[in-house]
Chain A
């Protein structure tokens, strides 16, 4: 199927908007949207208005923004590394964010204000990025960068394992583990406003890299001869992904497979062009996370299903299917 870039993005944006509205309406109690909206806008504090502004709206906004970040950053990393198996987690910032968030949960639950958790997560993401920079050096090749990211990932995972190991009670372990699963419940507008600045900086840094990623299709040397500075591009994408993904992970925990599967899924619809994939993949990521977050609300389970578990459950087999299909195509 061939769609123009504008049509594809418009289609995805409409789907994202519908899912956003659905995310606001659907829940344990379904919300009469217009009544709630009217009441909320006129400054009322009816139950509906409170549910809308303090529960559903932040949840839908965070799903929208975090999903877009994961889709966008997945596409950017795959374009930069020229590898369909790359994911935003490769730069180490996601596990850095997770480690620091778990650290706060371990030492400070109940003692510190709620905003400390996401702030610590974002700090962890930045620290991981700085460490990668120090480890890899300024002129690092892509391989060195990935290796440095893998090393940071291993270190952060080891740190999280240590905290789990030393956790004083089974309840603490449960809380730590559940947080890392990825979840958007019980988030407030404050969480949303906290994640927004670094997210927007990350997104803004990716504006205009599309053409450069297109040139990179022909290899780094040829791209360089076509006016792309590969070292600049590498760091630009790397830092942008660190900032945006760090903010997302710090707010919603580890949500896997969106950054991997969404770009992969949309690639054929943008004629495999890495530049055009960026915007489409951002919208696609938002759709998938919104849908998954609606899914965990309507799938009946005894204890609440975490959205990260659902994306992994759906994403992994789907990814396998893609691999098998592409193998068949190339044979």
Chain B
């Protein structure tokens, strides 16, 4: 399996706090990888570093085995898409136009949308169930609808690597399942997806691999059943859980320790 994105000992310090501490992760083609951990563990910061949006203090990030800071912004944006946790929408554009912005990395300044561009946009709209929202003013969407729209924007870009920050946190149950299936399907097309999740049951069920992060470091990685062990959950989250490892795995927090 070819590695599409990897970090090698990246660290980031801000105002004397080590936000990300010597983290090495990798994403191979065909993989859906989950990044889990408590609030403030550094998951979003790590995602920013992996997307090349923030420069690390030490260590390197490689996209297609090339240093991500040495690739042109346009080439990078064609291969890698990043979805913010709660991105702003500053003008009342229609949802369709926002999703179409996903094609910008592939277009020069004056180029019009080609038939392939339009097909990619249509696929993204259908895959994220945004058809009904299509002509709505994007600034009037609910939190969950906006998350779906922003994910559609990223899907429309047809990247090789997708980094999504809590894409299902604001979604209803149906759209949570739909989005996880979409990410699975995305990864199966020989692409890679790293997704930050708080729902450990869905992470367990859908992800091929998990990274468990705490206080800026990766404390466990591997198969969901190994990463989400009682010991790890107790030491990292400080809670006791009830857990089922069967066909439909579940993790329910019981009480604080």
A contacts, CB < 8 Å to B: 82, 207-208, 210-211, 214-219, 221-222, 224-229, 267, 271-274
B contacts, CB < 8 Å to A: 48, 51, 53, 73-74, 76-78, 80-82, 84, 87-94, 97-98, 101-102, 104-105, 107, 109-110, 150, 153, 157
Min CB distance, A183 to chain B, in Å?
35
In whole angstroms, how far apart are the Cα atoms of A218 and B97 in the complex?
12
A residues in contact with B80, CB < 8 Å: 225
In whole angstroms, how far apart are the Cα atoms of A197 and B247 in the complex?
72
Contact (Cβ within 8 A) B109 A210: yes
B residues in contact with A207, CB < 8 Å: 109
Contact (Cβ within 8 A) B73 A218: no
Contact (Cβ within 8 A) A219 B87: yes
Contact (Cβ within 8 A) A226 B98: no
Min CB distance, B234 to chain A, in Å?
35
A residues in contact with B51, CB < 8 Å: 225
Question: With contacts A211-B109, A226-B104 known, is A218 near B77, CB below 8 A?
Answer: no
Which residue of chain A has its CB nearest to the CB of B78?
Answer: A227
B residues in contact with A218, CB < 8 Å: 84, 87-90, 98, 101, 150, 153
In whole angstroms, how far apart are the Cα atoms of A225 and B157 in the complex?
11
B residues in contact with A273, CB < 8 Å: 91, 93, 97
In whole angstroms, how far apart are the Cα atoms of A221 and B100 in the complex?
18
Min CB distance, B72 to chain A, in Å?
8
In whole angstroms, how far apart are the Cα atoms of A60 and B6 in the complex?
61
Contact (Cβ within 8 A) A215 B101: yes
Contact (Cβ within 8 A) B53 A274: no
5 closest A-B pairs by beta carbon, nearest first, are A227-B77, A82-B90, A208-B109, A225-B82, A227-B74
Q: Which of B91, B93, B101 lies at the interface centre, i.e. has the most chain A CB atoms within 10 A of its CB?
A: B91
Min CB distance, B104 to chain A, in Å?
6
B residues in contact with A271, CB < 8 Å: 93-94, 97
Beyond known contacts A216-B90, A218-B101, A273-B93: 19 more, CB 8 A cutoff: A208-B109, A211-B109, A217-B90, A218-B84, A218-B98, A219-B88, A219-B90, A221-B48, A221-B82, A222-B82, A222-B84, A222-B150, A226-B101, A227-B78, A227-B104, A267-B91, A272-B91, A272-B93, A274-B91
Min CB distance, A224 to chain B, in Å?
6
17 example contacts (A-B, Cβ-Cβ < 8 A) are as follows A211-B107, A211-B109, A217-B90, A217-B93, A218-B150, A218-B153, A219-B87, A221-B82, A224-B53, A225-B53, A225-B81, A226-B104, A227-B73, A227-B74, A271-B93, A273-B91, A273-B97
In whole angstroms, how far apart are the Cα atoms of A269 and B150 in the complex?
24
Contact (Cβ within 8 A) A217 B53: no
Majority SS at the chain A contact face = loop
In whole angstroms, how far apart are the Cα atoms of A229 and B82 in the complex?
15
A residues in contact with B82, CB < 8 Å: 221-222, 225
Min CB distance, B171 to chain A, in Å?
19
A residues in contact with B94, CB < 8 Å: 271
Min CB distance, A112 to chain B, in Å?
43
B residues in contact with A229, CB < 8 Å: 73
Which residue of chain B has its CB nearest to the CB of A219?
Answer: B88
A residues in contact with B109, CB < 8 Å: 207-208, 210-211
Contact (Cβ within 8 A) A217 B89: yes
Min CB distance, A292 to chain B, in Å?
28
Question: With contacts A211-B109, A218-B150 known, is A227 near B76, CB below 8 A?
Answer: yes
In whole angstroms, how far apart are the Cα atoms of A208 and B53 in the complex?
23
Which residue of chain B has its CB nearest to the CB of A213?
Answer: B91
Which residue of chain B has its CB nearest to the CB of A275?
Answer: B109
A residues in contact with B102, CB < 8 Å: 226
Which residue of chain A has its CB nearest to the CB of B153?
Answer: A218
A residues in contact with B78, CB < 8 Å: 227
B residues in contact with A219, CB < 8 Å: 84, 87-88, 90
B residues in contact with A227, CB < 8 Å: 73-74, 76-78, 104-105
B residues in contact with A225, CB < 8 Å: 51, 53, 77, 80-82
Question: With contacts A211-B104, A211-B109, A217-B98 known, is A226 near B90, CB below 8 A?
Answer: no
In whole angstroms, how far apart are the Cα atoms of A82 and B89 in the complex?
10
Question: With contacts A224-B53, A271-B94, A273-B91 known, is A214 near B101, CB below 8 A?
Answer: yes
Contact (Cβ within 8 A) B104 A215: yes
Min CB distance, B137 to chain A, in Å?
9
Contact (Cβ within 8 A) A82 B73: no
In whole angstroms, how far apart are the Cα atoms of A18 and B236 in the complex?
72
In whole angstroms, how far apart are the Cα atoms of A215 and B93 in the complex?
11
Contact (Cβ within 8 A) A228 B73: yes
B residues in contact with A222, CB < 8 Å: 82, 84, 87, 150
Contact (Cβ within 8 A) A214 B104: yes
Min CB distance, B238 to chain A, in Å?
31
A residues in contact with B153, CB < 8 Å: 218
Which residue of chain B has its CB nearest to the CB of A227?
Answer: B77
Q: Which of A219, A221, A225 lies at the interface centre, i.e. has the most chain B CB atoms within 10 A of its CB?
A: A225
In whole angstroms, how far apart are the Cα atoms of A226 and B157 in the complex?
9
Contact (Cβ within 8 A) B84 A221: yes
Min CB distance, B43 to chain A, in Å?
15
Q: Which of B48, B90, B110 lies at the interface centre, i.e. has the most chain A CB atoms within 10 A of its CB?
A: B90
Min CB distance, A213 to chain B, in Å?
10
Question: With contacts A208-B109, A227-B73 known, is A221 near B53, CB below 8 A?
Answer: yes
A residues in contact with B73, CB < 8 Å: 224, 227-229
